[in-house]
């Protein structure tokens, strides 16, 4: 499963806020239990090792995605909580796309 989302890294782990908390447009690819971010769909397809800003993939083992009810600044935003304590906010185009992402992430 894959598609465009806008991403904000909130927490590095349970105690450290992410140093860069700006919103980035990213192309997201879910392969098994791994979530990878890319600059665009072309890069994801042609050179899947070339992830956004040289980042690693995220492990979704014991990760949970939920609607970000408390985040009011943008619509269609869900929160991804990783086992590491890392947290991301991810904005979809609409609620239906958001709910599709949430179920894919939670049903791996
Ligand atoms: C961040 C940027 C984000 C903002 C974040 C800022 O600054 O303005 O949009 O999050 O606020 O730190 P920069 O682009 O200079 O990194 P919101 O959109 O959620 O307000 P934060 O520090 O409160 O997370």
For residue 47, report the distance from its CA to the centre of ligand 1, in Å: 30
**Is there an atom of ligand 1 within 6 Å of 17 CB?**
no
8 Å CB contact between 1 and 33 = no
Q: What confidence score (pLDDT) does residue 84 get?
A: 96
Which residue has its alpha carbon closest to ligand 1 atom 24?
21
Quote the tokens at residue 13: 């782990």
Which residue has its alpha carbon closest to ligand 1 atom 20?
73
Give pTM, 2 decimals.
0.96
The question of ipTM being above 0.90 is answered as yes
- pLDDT tops 90 at residue 81: yes
| pLDDT, mean of residues 24-45 | 98
- Percentage of the chain lying above the pLDDT 90 cut: 99
- pLDDT tops 80 at residue 108: no
Q: What are the CA-CA distances from residue 78 to residues 45, 49, 94 (Å)?
A: 25, 26, 11
Which residue has its alpha carbon closest to ligand 1 atom 15?
22
| pLDDT, mean of residues 73-93 | 98
The average confidence (pLDDT) of the chain is 97
User: Hey, which of 21, 68, 87 would you mutate to test ligand 1's pocket, going by the most ligand atoms within 8 Å of its Cβ?
Assistant: 21
């Amino acid at each position: 499963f894959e598609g465009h989302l806008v991403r904000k890294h909130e927490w590095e782990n349970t105690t450290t806020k992410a140093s860069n908390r700006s919103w980035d447009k990213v192309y997201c690819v879910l392969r098994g239990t791994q979530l990878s971010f890319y600059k665009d769909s072309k890069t994801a397809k042609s050179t899947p090792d070339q992830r956004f800003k040289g980042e690693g993939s995220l492990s979704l083992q014991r990760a949970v995605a939920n609607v970000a009810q408390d985040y009011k600044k943008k619509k269609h935003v869900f929160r991804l909580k990783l086992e590491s304590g890392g947290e991301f906010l991810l904005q979809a185009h609409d609620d239906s796309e958001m709910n599709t992402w949430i179920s894919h992430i939670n049903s791996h």
